[in-house]
Amino acid sequence: MTRILTSLFILIVFSGCSGKSGTEKSGFVRGDFIIAQHGMVVSAHPQSSAIGVKILQKGGNSVDAAVATAFALAVCYPEAGNIGGGGFMIIRTSNGKSEVIDFREKAPFNATRNMFLKRNGDVSEGESTETLLSSGVPGSVDGLIYAHSKYGILPFRDVIQPAIELAGYGFTLTGDQAQDLNSNRENFIKRNSVRPPFVKDSLWKEGDILIQNALEATLKRIRDFGRDGFYSGKTARLLIKEMKKGTGIISDTDLKEYKSVSRASISTDYKGYKVITVPPPSSGGITLIQLLGMIKPYPFKEWGFHDSKTIHLMVEAERRVFADRSEYLGDPDFVRIPVEQLTNKKYLLQRMSSFNEKKATASFEIKPGSPDGYVSEETTHFSVVDASGNAVAMTTTLNGTFGNSIVVDSAGFLLNNEMDDFSVKPGFPNMFGLVGGEANSIKPGKKMLSSMTPTIVEKNGKLFLVIGSPGGSTIPTSVFQVVVNVIDFGMGIQKAINSGRFHHQWLPDWINYEKNAIDSVTACKLAEMGHELRLRSSIGRVNAIMILPDGEKVGGADKRGNNSAYGY
Ligand code: DON
């Protein structure tokens, strides 16, 4: 009976989607969907997803699989997978408890407020993105080891070993990756004193094998010595030596003192679903909760999916939320963040009181509220669920594609350029066009504000969705739209992800949109309301898992990249 009901559910929810199933994916394939009965991993590269699933099949739980997937991504997805960066992980165990692990990078102790300004006060262009000075103290290795030591059930060496082999034997480049590496070739050559493995004499092509021996050796040190294999000893010495080749300021003390932080998740009720997400120093969770709270009172389901009125409502909410972000959000260990006030139902209603259903509000008219009263897509998100229903949503990044493109010589890993996520000067936009002020100013040991939004959704107290995305400032709006597509518009997860997206972030005052999100008539209606529209090739790359009532897992891998759902 359950099987019949499930089939019916799939048929109803997923009708309207068609297309070819992937050939290289494991798990059952129904139409366009990868369905797994036991466990599933959806990540940015087929080899990292396969590694995660193998760990599950060996008896590992979702945290073992997540840690294995993350280390594998550091090898086979150097665009964003990393050991030289940071991120956020949200874990929900099958008994319904959740924990956020914040392994965001930190400003080195020698960082100063105006470190990216010239004498005349102007921003020194490129310094916060292209140089050794752009790197925050990496958090990924500490975060992964912390997560594994608390939740993992397989030995750490078994979990990291597949990544070591992937580095030593090499991984297969996808077509997109060959292109990414080729277009970044000049940066790799210019910014490194020793040629990194990402550069070879000829250009890369799909199917080439990329071997990373120095990275393999670093991963072995992490396998053998745990966090000391990265934050002290040979790896640390190599990193500091790299810093000294230029203007880098990460010191021995910075590395020794880095500690990831366990934080309580934040959540909201949205139409009977519980949305559980990450707190600051990511802005993503608060942004998502504010957005859902702001649109909730409006009958946009009646207005219709991607109707001009619906898009207008969502965009106007986004405009207001990003204005708040610019003023109030930063590292909670340094600034007081009014989380409860910002997500308070009455505050959100009051914030939307200036919403005009027929007219765009100019961003200059929107100031941050009073709660007391051009880019690449290279962060990476993956989702994991194991057979017992433990779930992990993890988003990690080097910030820019390949970070600052600087590879630590003889240690083989790329450095992040996360310092650009600070507000380097009040009102000066970062690489995602985001502006900020005092709350996100640079201070020694402080974490730069993030937009990463790994999220878990419960339905009737049971695990329902595991979701997240890369995309800088577009991360929370991408997650927001997919959640709304599923909950309000009844879409299956793949259709919800495939649907076109749009994005507004207060400043600059325009709507970015994908071409399948807004048709010509809708575009004209939005323009008549006063919106400026700008086409963008893609917005976000959502990797999600939806859990069906009988426990089957449906993979949602974003076709905007080489994302792959694997299950068993
Ligand atoms: O933490 C953040 O919000 C950014 N450093 C994320 C960067 C990103 O998503 C890059 N592109 N997709």
Give the Å distance between the CA of 357 and the centre of ligand 1.
32
Atom of ligand 1 lying closest to residue 540 CA: 12
Give the Å distance between the CA of 80 and the centre of ligand 1.
9
For ligand 1, residues with CB inside 6 Å are: 375-379, 397, 399, 418, 421, 450-452, 470-472, 475
Task: Classify each residue of 17-53 as buried b or exposed e, where b means 16 or more C-beta atoms within 10 Å of its C-beta.
Answer: eeeeebeebbbebebbbbbbebbbbbbbbbbbbbbbb
Give the Å distance between the CA of 431 and the centre of ligand 1.
9
Q: Distance between CA 64 and CA 403 in Å, rounded?
A: 26
Give the Å distance between the CA of 546 and the centre of ligand 1.
24
Asked whether the beta carbons of 178 and 205 are under 8 A apart, the reply is yes
* CA nearest to 395, candidates 104, 85, 144, 89: 89
pLDDT of residue 1: 27
Whole-number Cα distances in Å, 205 to 165, 172, 202, 261, 455: 22, 10, 9, 40, 35
Sign of CA dihedral 544, 542, 101, 64: positive
Q: Distance between CA 388 and CA 378 in Å, rounded?
A: 31
Whole-number Cα distances in Å, 83 to 86, 144, 229: 8, 9, 12
Give the Å distance between the CA of 359 and the centre of ligand 1.
31
Q: Distance between CA 437 and CA 423 in Å, rounded?
A: 6
* CA nearest to 176, candidates 80, 99, 94: 80
Give the Å distance between the CA of 297 and the centre of ligand 1.
30
Asked whether the beta carbons of 131 and 415 are under 8 A apart, the reply is no
Centroid of chain to Cα 117: 28
* DSSP secondary structure, 228-275, as one string: HHHHSHHHHHHHHHHHHTTT----HHHHHH---EEE--EEEEETTEEE
Give the Å distance between the CA of 220 and the centre of ligand 1.
28
* CA nearest to 293, candidates 312, 263, 313: 313
Identify the residue whose C-alpha is closest to ligand 1 atom 9: 472
Q: Say if residue 468 is exposed, middle or buried (CB neighbours under 10 Å; 0-12, 13-18, 19+).
A: buried
Q: Say if residue 261 is exposed, middle or buried (CB neighbours under 10 Å; 0-12, 13-18, 19+).
A: middle
pLDDT of residue 216: 98
Identify the residue whose C-alpha is closest to ligand 1 atom 6: 472
Q: State the first-to-last Cα distance of the chain, in angstroms, to the nearest integer.
A: 22
What order do you get walking across the sheet with 543-547 strand by strand? 28-30, 33-36, 553-557, 543-547, 462-467, 455-459, 273-277, 266-270
- pLDDT tens digits, the chain, 568 residues: what are they? 223 223 322 222 222 222 223 334 567 766 677 899 999 999 999 999 999 999 999 999 999 999 999 999 999 999 999 999 999 999 999 999 999 999 999 999 999 999 999 999 999 999 999 999 999 999 999 999 999 999 999 999 999 999 999 999 999 999 999 999 999 999 999 999 999 999 999 999 999 999 999 999 999 999 999 999 999 999 999 999 999 999 999 999 999 999 999 999 999 999 999 999 999 999 999 999 999 999 999 999 999 999 999 999 999 999 999 999 999 999 999 999 999 999 999 999 999 999 999 999 999 999 998 887 544 568 999 999 999 999 999 999 999 999 999 999 999 999 999 999 999 999 999 999 999 999 999 999 999 999 999 999 999 999 999 999 999 999 999 999 999 999 999 999 999 999 999 999 999 999 999 999 999 999 999 999 999 999 999 999 999 999 999 999 999 999 999 999 999 9
Atom of ligand 1 lying closest to residue 87 CA: 1
Identify the residue whose C-alpha is closest to ligand 1 atom 5: 399
SS3 548: coil
Q: Tokens for 81, please give them.
A: 């997978």
Sign of CA dihedral 500, 555, 45, 28: negative
Q: Distance between CA 52 and CA 60 in Å, rounded?
A: 9
**Which of 282, 452, 477, 542 for mutating ligand 1's site (highest number of atoms within 8 Å of CB)?**
452
pLDDT of residue 371: 84
SS3 293: helix
Atom of ligand 1 lying closest to residue 420 CA: 5
Q: Are strands 511-513 and 533-535 parallel, antiparallel or unpaired?
A: parallel
Helix axes 156-169, 46-57, angle to 10 degrees: 150
* CA nearest to 401, candidates 184, 557, 205, 185: 184
Identify the residue whose C-alpha is closest to ligand 1 atom 2: 450
Identify the residue whose C-alpha is closest to ligand 1 atom 8: 472
Residues annotated as catalytic are 379
Sign of CA dihedral 34, 39, 42, 46: negative
Give the Å distance between the CA of 354 and the centre of ligand 1.
30
SS3 91: strand
Atom of ligand 1 lying closest to residue 284 CA: 3
pLDDT of residue 370: 86
Atom of ligand 1 lying closest to residue 541 CA: 12
Rounding to the nearest 10 degrees, give the CA dihedral for residues 92, 396, 212, 254: -110
Identify the residue whose C-alpha is closest to ligand 1 atom 1: 450
**Which of 286, 326, 451, 474 for mutating ligand 1's site (highest number of atoms within 8 Å of CB)?**
451
Q: Tokens for 175, please give them.
A: 């077509």
Atom of ligand 1 lying closest to residue 80 CA: 10
Q: Are strands 553-557 and 33-36 parallel, antiparallel or unpaired?
A: antiparallel
Amino acid at 28: F
